[in-house]
Structure 1
Amino acid sequence: MAKPQHILQLSEEQRSSFVGSFDRVLSDIDGVLWTMEHNVPRAADGYAALERNGKHLTFVTNNSVRTVDQCIRRFAKIGMQVQPEQIWHPAQSIINYLRGINFQGLIYIIASPPFKAVLREAGFQLLDGPNAFIEDNFESLAKNIFDKEPVRAVIIDVDFNLSSPKMLRAHLYLRHPECLLIEGATDRLLPVAKGVNIIGPGAFASILVEASGRQDRCITLGKPGRELGHLIVEHYKIDQPSRVLMIGDMLAQDIGFGRQCGFQTLLVLSGGCTREQLLAETDPRHIPDFYADSMADVAQLLGEAPKAHV
């Protein structure tokens, strides 16, 4: 497979061909527009330039800790007016999926309070916990992980209070062959500062997937989940996947998602992937078609003059 090209090193003919080759943009958020430390300079200008060129923008995030409303307020702070329907959030994707299969029944959930609130507001019946400290003996453990509740789906996403009893309880529910296993965010590592990663929800979800023997039956509704791709393609009635551009900062989650769906892919180096990591990548499923230092390069590509800094 050919090495990815930097968009500012394309010839005039290549630039024109690239810009005319897609109509819809799907974009990650964290690491592309902002990080935990700062906003990415001129990222908003890149999206404004895309819109001025007639591209339809949709944001697909694996960050379920931040609600859609919080995302919209954060966008506004950098001068972007984004509508709720432009944001694909793991909790909302799961709701869309469950409604699509007409799911009925009790859900055991490992996730953040805002994530649970979204599902409850959508009318789903949730069970969670244990949320309190349990004693270090088998009797206490057994009391908290064994029950006869008719759970028909287990959902796992980001939970900053994840515990062994929660995982054990989820695993026990999954003994029922008809109980679904659904995961949201799949990130195995989360970049929280320059050069600093923490273990992400994907690593914990993998433990549950392997322990329950659901390797081929886990429904993944965060990137790079195949089921998420199906939802998006169906929702937007995408009949030419090659005319969609996926933008992101992570090789496995963003680029892997885009390539799996048949989209074009653009990696930006403003977040979780360095140029060295990009050039060292050998898995063709994770190698983008193009790369850029940041979304500011997209603004430059589309002829937007840099704004003067006061």
Structure 2
Amino acid sequence: MDVLRYTENSEASRIRPKHILNLNTDEKLEFLASFDRVFSDIDGVAWNLTSSIPRAVEGYQALLEAGKTLNFISNNSVRSPSEYERKFKDIGLEVDLDALVHPAKSILQYLKHINFKGLIYVIATERVKDMLREAGYDIIDGPTKIIKESFSDLARNVFGDEPVRAVIIDVDFNLSSPKLIRAHVFLRHPDCILIEGATDKLLPVGNDLDIIGPGPFAQVLAGSSKKHLITLGKPGKELGEMLVKNFEIEETKRVLMIGDMLEQDIGFGRQCGFQTLAVLSGGCKLQDLERETIRDNIPDYYADSIADFIEFMNDLNKSNV
């Protein structure tokens, strides 16, 4: 376990996240007693792109046995909620779908909350589109074909009189300039709202490899249209308000947010008033913590992985012998 280092002239130099296994017995007891509910990210915490995090299930079980309520919250809508449920079963963890916070589920709840009735233009995966259709919403998408390099052909594919009153943008592996242009055209209507799911600027897909996420494209639409971006993925304010209401959270400080992304997970947790713990098993490495200077992205605690809670609880059990 490494000790975090910060330069003395940095504002962050006064903020030193503590590794949970470096806490003394009294500090461990105080930390464990300070939260009742855990919100855990999934990718990079429970598993990575190609494999599970070693002993992650045992780490979660240690928290459950300590009496903590466990919920999972993901920005990844490439998997449907039912696919997440099967994936959890595959690694040996039973997770009720009600305990899973998923971008499409949050978007659907928001649309229901505002009693939305209009046509929706969607830039997202087919799974998200299917969930919207199954919930009874009318959607359109595209264009999906290659546009000739002429303004006349572009115009034929992006201009129309469809009464779109909401644009939704999330992960779309087939995102294109014409799709963004078409979304911008719809957003010119004063009653058309803009909703985003995942906010990630970068998506980790392997060791030291990441790709551009949907976040920058959502910002392009927000900037070009001057619309308020309703954010229902981490670290969205609207999502945070939804969670506090859905789970009837009375004291936000008694919630622990665990994640592997500093802006999406830790920033989200701090914005909500939760305690925060970063794990180094996914998109965040020790050097990322050391370099971080944005106060809201620096966690209260950190661990090598969720599996550290196994040793954490064993240490406390030994101290009680």
Q: Same fold (TM over 0.5)?
A: yes
Q: Deviations over 1:56-81 (max 9, x none)?
A: 11100000001111111111111101
- The answer to whether residue 218 in structure 2 is matched with residue 170 in structure 1 is no
Secondary structure of 2:270's partner?
A: helix
**Which of 229, 233, 236 lines up with 1:225 in the alignment?**
236
**Which of 238, 245, 248 lines up with 2:256 in the alignment?**
245
**Mapping of residues 21-170 of structure 1, within 5 Å:** 21-170=34-183
Q: 1:60 to 1:301 in 2, by over 3 A?
A: same
Secondary structure of 1:295's partner?
A: coil
Q: Distance in 2 between matches of 1:279 and 1:78?
A: 32
Instruction: Give the CA RMSD over aligned residues.
Output: 1.1
Higher mean Cα deviation, 10-19 or 65-74?
Answer: 65-74
Give the corresponding residue for 2:32: 19
Secondary structure of 2:314's partner?
A: coil
Q: Deviations over 1:133-175 (max 9, x none)?
A: 2222111100110011111110000111111110000001111
Q: Distance in 2 between matches of 1:201 and 1:146?
A: 23
Does structure 1 retain, via aligned residues, the 8 Å contact 2:60–2:307? no
Higher mean Cα deviation, 245-254 or 201-210?
Answer: 201-210
Secondary structure of 1:185's partner?
A: coil
Offset at residue 83 of structure 1 (A): 1.0
Does structure 2 retain, via aligned residues, the 8 Å contact 1:49–1:304? no
Secondary structure of 1:95's partner?
A: helix
Gaps of 5+ in 1: 306-310
Does structure 2 retain, via aligned residues, the 8 Å contact 1:90–1:221? yes
What letter matches 1:229 in structure 2? G
What letter matches 1:271 in structure 2? G
**TM-score, normalised by the number of residues in structure 1:** 0.96
Give the corresponding residue for 2:272: 261
Offset at residue 304 of structure 1 (A): 8.2
Does structure 2 retain, via aligned residues, the 8 Å contact 1:90–1:184? yes
Q: Distance in 2 between matches of 1:165 and 1:304?
A: 57
Secondary structure of 2:72's partner?
A: strand
Q: Distance in 1 between matches of 2:278 and 2:109?
A: 28
Does structure 1 retain, via aligned residues, the 8 Å contact 2:170–2:214? yes
Does structure 1 retain, via aligned residues, the 8 Å contact 2:20–2:28? yes
Offset at residue 94 of structure 1 (A): 0.3
Does structure 1 retain, via aligned residues, the 8 Å contact 2:259–2:279? yes
Secondary structure of 1:303's partner?
A: helix
Gaps of 5+ in 2: 1-13, 317-321
Offset at residue 208 of structure 1 (A): 1.1
Q: Distance in 1 between matches of 2:269 and 2:70?
A: 15
Give the corresponding residue for 2:7: none
Does structure 1 retain, via aligned residues, the 8 Å contact 2:257–2:266? yes
Secondary structure of 1:187's partner?
A: coil
Does structure 1 retain, via aligned residues, the 8 Å contact 2:39–2:73? yes
Does structure 2 retain, via aligned residues, the 8 Å contact 1:155–1:183? yes
Offset at residue 260 of structure 1 (A): 0.1
Q: Distance in 2 between matches of 1:53 and 1:304?
A: 13
Count residues in correspondence: 303
What letter matches 2:260 in structure 1? D
Offset at residue 205 of structure 1 (A): 1.2
Q: Distance in 2 between matches of 1:234 and 1:98?
A: 16
Q: Distance in 2 between matches of 1:299 and 1:263?
A: 22
Secondary structure of 1:103's partner?
A: coil
Give the corresponding residue for 1:288: 299
**Mapping of residues 192-203 of structure 1, within 5 Å:** 192-203=205-216
**TM-score, normalised by the number of residues in structure 2:** 0.93
Secondary structure of 1:155's partner?
A: strand
